[in-house]
């Protein structure tokens, strides 16, 4: 960016700060501080380092002055001013101050392509820690990752995310197979950016799809001004009071347990129970992350990672059991003897065992304690978790019960009742 323009921008954003501070003090009629503000403006400081130095000392000065007066106000304009400057430099287009003040410490700025009729939609692909943005009406200019600016606190990243490979090796998703080198991306919010640019054959309009793979799962909000889109990224726990992760076991190529005659897959029963449960949970003020809502193959590690990343209150995994012989039957709630956020998984298991047991007619086998190493997904979870084995695929009566749609709905109702009771009886310790 042109140096003169940069200086101008720096001065402008500095002036905004002065204006804010000055006007506040004029209102409060504190003459001494007003004078100090005017004195500093008149110094004509342009250099990047200078302006930051003065700004910090200025804010300190103002805060000290306020403290002396006993008025409970503190100024912290540092983020706004500093970010504005650096971003101007990278993007080459002005940032709306109003928007900027609403953003958290983590956000992504996407410079709008030059077009008159832009619109944006998004999709939260949280199981992949990704957010997909669809921008329509972009014209024929292709977008570049250079215009996608990731801001974490005071750090700014643009262009293709770069990584360094550590020597440390880690096992893959299922804890099996090939060892893989681990990549680190420093503090970049995005690990991978995929941009596709396509012309719609019907409308002849050009559309851009941006898939941002992020370092974590975020609750996001999109803002926009004349020049840019802003993707504000926050911890889900900052945004939602109640968070659940519901896991329909298996999926896709992984069918799970199979009925003895080989015709019924566990994955389908699990999914249908979860979809019934979703209908009930949709009516509640609870943010629910589902590991899958379709017949998708999802590895085990990302399921546990999702639960940990969103720091859910309860992580509930739904399965059906199987045995070599056909006689074992009934419902089991599996848990580890662990406690997270003040919630004992054993307590959670008892509640679900009672609630499910009271609405379905399968034998209630109670809650069953498992050991570290028994269940991969439980080994990896750092949140209160249970695994529900609704019934036995290998038992004829259980299978007949679970093959009936109304019964699967009843199982979902039992799980739902368990969730609501858990919120009342086992509140999560929010730190
Ligand atoms: Zn299973």
Give residue 287 CA to ligand 1 midpoint distance, Å.
25
Residue-wise pLDDT tens digits, 117-127: 899 999 999 99
* Torsion over CA: 110, 114, 116, 118 (sign): negative
- Work out the pLDDT band at 179, boundaries 50, 70, 90: low
pLDDT value, residue 71: 63
- Give the mean pLDDT of 87-116: 85
Residue-wise pLDDT tens digits, 192-250: 999 999 888 888 888 999 999 999 999 999 999 999 999 999 999 999 999 999 999 99
CB 157 within 8 A of CB 145: no
- Domain edges within the chain: 3-91, 97-234, 239-425
Give residue 269 CA to ligand 1 midpoint distance, Å.
10
Q: What percent of the chain has pLDDT over 90?
A: 61
- Give the mean pLDDT of 301-305: 96
Q: Give the DSSP per-residue string, 93-127.
A: S---HHHHHH--SEEEEEEPPS-SS-EEEEEEEGG
Question: Lowest-pLDDT range, 37-46, 196-205, 212-221, 407-416?
Answer: 37-46
Give residue 249 CA to ligand 1 midpoint distance, Å.
5
- Mean per-residue pLDDT of the chain: 83
Question: Which of these, 330, 320, 323, lies nearest to 387 by C-alpha position?
Answer: 320
Residue 44 pLDDT exceeds 50: no
Give residue 371 CA to ligand 1 midpoint distance, Å.
17
Give residue 258 CA to ligand 1 midpoint distance, Å.
10
- Work out the pLDDT band at 169, boundaries 50, 70, 90: low
Residue 359 pLDDT exceeds 70: yes
Pairing, β 180-184 against β 190-199: unpaired
Token couple for 363? 């034998």
Residue 31 pLDDT exceeds 50: no
CB 55 within 8 A of CB 77: yes
Give residue 135 CA to ligand 1 midpoint distance, Å.
39
Token couple for 160? 């293709």
CA distances from residue 275 to 272, 353, 388, 427 in whole angstroms, order as listed: 5, 20, 15, 25
Torsion angles phi and psi, residue 314, rounded to 5: -135, 140
Query: Which numeric CATH code is attached to 239-425?
Result: 3.40.630.40
| Residue 263 β-bridge partners | none
Residue 188 pLDDT exceeds 80: yes
Q: How far apart are CA 370 and CA 297, in angstroms?
A: 25
CB 208 within 8 A of CB 195: yes
The residues, ordered by sequence, that sit 6+ positions from 15 with a Cβ below 8 Å of its Cβ are 41
- Work out the pLDDT band at 182, boundaries 50, 70, 90: low
- Give the mean pLDDT of 154-162: 87
Q: Which residue has the higher pLDDT, 83 or 347?
A: 347
The residues, ordered by sequence, that sit 6+ positions from 305 with a Cβ below 8 Å of its Cβ are 129, 380
Give residue 146 CA to ligand 1 midpoint distance, Å.
44
Residue 142 pLDDT exceeds 70: yes
CA distances from residue 187 to 151, 181, 184, 242, 309 in whole angstroms, order as listed: 9, 19, 9, 28, 16
Give residue 257 CA to ligand 1 midpoint distance, Å.
6
- Work out the pLDDT band at 414, boundaries 50, 70, 90: very high
- Work out the pLDDT band at 283, boundaries 50, 70, 90: very high
- Give the mean pLDDT of 40-60: 44
Give residue 256 CA to ligand 1 midpoint distance, Å.
5
Residue 345 pLDDT exceeds 60: yes
Residue 48 pLDDT exceeds 50: no
- Environment of ion ligand 1 (residues, CB < 5 A): 249, 256, 319
Helix (H, G, I), strand (E, B) or coil at 387: strand
Beta strands, E only, 62-185: 106-111, 119-125, 130-136, 148-152, 155-157, 164-170, 180-184
pLDDT value, residue 306: 97
- Give the mean pLDDT of 71-84: 57
For residue 143, the Cα-to-chain-centroid distance in whole angstroms is 25
């Amino acid at each position: 960016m042109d140096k003169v323009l940069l200086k101008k921008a720096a001065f402008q954003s500095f002036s905004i700060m002065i204006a804010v501070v000055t006007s506040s003090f004029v209102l409060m009629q504190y003459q001494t501080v007003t004078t100090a503000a005017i004195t500093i403006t008149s110094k004509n400081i342009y250099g990047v380092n200078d302006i930051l130095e003065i700004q910090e000392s200025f804010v300190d000065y103002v805060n000290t002055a306020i403290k002396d007066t006993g008025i409970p106000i503190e100024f912290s304009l540092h983020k706004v001013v500093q970010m504005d400057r650096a971003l101007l430099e990278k993007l080459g287009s002005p940032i709306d101050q109003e928007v900027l003040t609403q953003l958290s410490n983590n956000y992504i700025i996407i410079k709008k392509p030059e077009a008159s009729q832009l619109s944006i939609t998004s999709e939260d692909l949280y199981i992949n820690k990704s957010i997909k943005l669809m921008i329509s009406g972009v014209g024929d200019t292709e977008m570049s990752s250079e215009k996608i600016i990731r801001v974490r606190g005071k750090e700014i990243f643009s262009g293709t995310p770069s990584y360094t490979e550590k020597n440390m090796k880690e096992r893959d998703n299922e804890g099996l197979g090939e060892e893989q080198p681990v990549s680190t991306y420093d503090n970049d919010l995005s690990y991978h950016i995929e941009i596709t640019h396509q012309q719609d054959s019907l409308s002849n309009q050009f559309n851009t799809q941006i898939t941002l793979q992020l370092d974590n799962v975020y609750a996001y909000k999109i803002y926009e001004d004349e020049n840019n889109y802003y993707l504000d990224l926050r911890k889900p726990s900052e945004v939602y009071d109640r968070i659940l992760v519901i896991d329909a076991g298996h999926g896709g190529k992984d069918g799970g347990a199979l009925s003895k005659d080989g015709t019924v897959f566990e994955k389908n029963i699990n999914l249908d129970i979860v979809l019934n449960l979703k209908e009930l949970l949709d009516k509640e003020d609870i943010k629910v992350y589902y590991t899958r809502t379709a017949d998708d193959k999802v590895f085990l590690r990302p399921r546990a990672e999702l639960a940990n990343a969103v720091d859910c209150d309860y992580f509930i995994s739904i399965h059906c059991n199987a045995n070599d012989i056909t006689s074992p039957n009934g419902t089991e709630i599996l848990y580890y003897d662990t406690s997270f956020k003040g919630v004992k998984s054993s307590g959670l298991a008892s509640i679900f065992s009672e609630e499910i047991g009271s609405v379905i007619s399968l034998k209630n086998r109670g809650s069953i304690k498992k050991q570290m190493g028994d269940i991969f997904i439980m080994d990896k979870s750092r949140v209160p978790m249970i695994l529900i084995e609704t019934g036995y695929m290998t038992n004829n009566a259980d299978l007949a019960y679970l093959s009936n749609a109304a019964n699967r709905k009843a199982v979902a109702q039992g799980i739902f009742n368990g969730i609501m009771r858990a919120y009342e009886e086992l509140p999560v310790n929010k730190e």
